[in-house]
Structure 1
Amino acid sequence: MTLLYDERDIGEAERFNRVLRLLPRYHTDRRMNARVIQAILRAWETLPRLSRRSDVDIEERSIDRDGRTLRLRLVIPRQRPAGIYLTFHGGAWVMGTPRFDDPINSRIAAECRALVISVDHHLAVDDRLDLAIEDARRAAEWAAAEAAAEFGAERIVAGGESSGAHLAALALLHLRALCPDRLAGAVLFYGAYDMAGTPGLRRSSSRSLLIDGQAAYRNLLRLTSQLTEEQRRDPRLSPLFADLSGMPPALFVAGEMDPVFEDSLRMAERWNEANGNAEFLPVPRGAHGFNRLPLSMARKTNAHARQRIRHWLECGLSAS
């Protein structure tokens, strides 16, 4: 366990949480909520950018296959990339946009010399979670083949937040079958890895901060409504139950007040049982999405994640 936080960090988070308790909780199972927020995000995407880092370039790419188009947002460092960071945005599988992650991804690209590939996957407001998973695998294949060839970047780290961490874990499992020697690491923030819902999520409170815990559980059931309990835990859907042997070093991060905290805890335990190379970082007083909040512990956590990505990619350069 890594100790990053001091009493001042925890005190600041406690004070901030008092404010969060006054705010309404987001219900991830309500599709109208997702449609409204997504419309706002897409409208925001059309606005001109007021500023952009001078040490990275940003490009849009598309993958066309089987009549479907997958959009990718590339954040490219000005230096030759040391490797690839394949990342998936959060949003309960039903909303979100790669452009919203530009500030975080641009820092990763610049400081870690990483070609960042941010995936604009299918949004399952139609409850077609299978299409989002298919997009994660297609993006992984493109990163391992076309992106590696174009940018000369071989080693791959995958990451994501919330639902994006789930998709990143499935993408890594897919890449393990394709190019196991090129997997460098995983950075997974507060993901959901059991699509039937862990006991911790099932007993979570509707008064959990920022998101309604019981609504998050209902969202899992809605996304898998045609499946039995056993089918929801199929390793192709729930990475918590996959064979995790041969996986790269991983950093799992979750706030201790997050309804899906147990997912990260159990995933790190299983990862270590298989490989012995997982770091679990529990964040005291951390809510779901805490690393996006104006908190010192958020800055420290994000910096720690960047340090891990940089180290894993630089190890690949020194080995070559």
Structure 2
Amino acid sequence: MFSPDTRFKPSVTPFEKTVSIGTNKITLRIFKPDTVKAVILQIYGGGWCLGTAAFDDPLNHLKARTCQVAVVGVNYRLAPEFPFPACVEDCRLAAKWLIANAQAEFGTTNIFISGYSAGAHLAALTTLYIRDSLHAIGNVKGVTLEYGCFDLSGTPSFRQASDSTLVLTRKDLDEDMQLVFPGWSPEQLRNPQFSPLYANLSNLPPALFTVGTADFLLDDTYFMEARWRNAGNRTFLAVYPDCPHGFTLMPTLMAECANRTIREWIISNIERMSSTNTFK
């Protein structure tokens, strides 16, 4: 696979832009290199209750430089101060703005949706929103989903997490779910509006799924990839041995390999769409 060399490419400085649609506003954190072949809508993770778009600056900077893409990070509202689904609404707002303004702002309508952990959950929901409400799924050329939570009611691997689980223990996971989804029933959590594993997944762009075998969300990725593929879409599944949740953010060789694969997958899809202009 193609391995881009970043040593002699210019640095890209991020800037923040507050955008409005009607009375709603959201602040985006943007990397915009000199050459833009596509735009990535990047949604960070943090259990729906932690983080900012700036946390992803190192990886977004590298994507912008090596893939020749603009990266638009979403500063969505966090629980519990802003109860779920405020974060979903903010990601939809960002997607709506990007679909309407990508050509004017970045010189292209080619879009990728990307996220990890809770951000992968939001990225999947945002992709479905673009298909169902914006009717612009043809603009989305690919989706990258890293160890997402796609069934809020809990897949087997999530339910089997224990106090010895790496990165987040059973206690951590239970506290996060109680903080973000207080009083929600299993039926509410499995609603396809919020758990994309149960949604109609037809007519979606190609997707790259990334997960480690030591991740408590391993089944979420396995199940979501299978459903995405069985719905007639192209998928790519990258599984990394013994890697825990959040491993792509860690300073390890396995993380470097996974992040390089994600960038190369984006580059290959940009090259493919220039000649085929189609999902398939």
TM-score, structure 1 length as denominator? Answer: 0.79
Q: Is the 8 A contact 2:197 2:227 kept in 1?
A: yes
Give the aligned residue type for 1:209.
Answer: L
Please state how far the C-alpha of 1:222 moved relative to its aligned partner. 3.8
Give the aligned residue type for 2:271.
Answer: E
Distance 2:82 2:104 in 1: 35
- Pairs within 5 Å for 1:49-88: 54-65=10-21, 67-79=23-35, 81-88=36-43
Deviations 1:274-305 (A, max 9, x none): 02411121210101111122211111110000
Match of 1:176?
131
- Pairs within 5 Å for 1:1-320: 54-65=10-21, 67-79=23-35, 81-126=36-81, 128-177=83-132, 178=134, 179-319=136-276
Match of 1:5?
none
Deviations 1:140-162 (A, max 9, x none): 11111113332121111111111
Distance 1:64 1:315 in 2: 33
SS at match of 2:165: coil
Distance 1:164 1:148 in 2: 25
User: How many residue pairs are counted as aligned between the two chains?
Assistant: 268
More helix by share: 1
> Any gaps of 5 or more consecutive residues in structure 1?
1-52
- Answer with 1 or 2: which has the greater Rg: 1
Q: Is the 8 A contact 1:85 1:115 kept in 2?
A: yes
Give the aligned residue type for 2:269.
Answer: W
Please state how far the C-alpha of 1:238 moved relative to its aligned partner. 0.5
Match of 2:6?
none
Deviations 1:108-135 (A, max 9, x none): 1111111110001001133611100000
Q: Tell me how large the CA RMSD over aligned residues is.
A: 1.9
Distance 1:319 1:257 in 2: 37
Deviations 1:219-254 (A, max 9, x none): 234422243211211111011111000111111111
Q: Kindly, what percent of the aligned residue pairs are identical? A: 34
Return closer, same or farther for 1:305/1:176 CA change in 2, 3 Å cut-off. Answer: same
Please state how far the C-alpha of 1:66 moved relative to its aligned partner. 6.0
Distance 1:151 1:65 in 2: 18
Q: More deviation in 56-65 or 152-161? A: 56-65
Q: Is the 8 A contact 1:72 1:120 kept in 2?
A: yes
More RCO (CA 8 Å, sep 6+) = 1
SS at match of 1:129: coil
Return closer, same or farther for 1:214/1:280 CA change in 2, 3 Å cut-off. Answer: farther
SS at match of 1:275: coil
Return closer, same or farther for 1:57/1:147 CA change in 2, 3 Å cut-off. Answer: farther
Return closer, same or farther for 1:66/1:207 CA change in 2, 3 Å cut-off. Answer: farther
Q: Is the 8 A contact 2:143 2:206 kept in 1?
A: yes
Return closer, same or farther for 1:145/1:68 CA change in 2, 3 Å cut-off. Answer: closer
Give the aligned residue type for 1:237.
Answer: F
> Any gaps of 5 or more consecutive residues in structure 2?
1-8
Give the aligned residue type for 2:223.
Answer: R
Q: Is the 8 A contact 1:127 1:223 kept in 2?
A: no
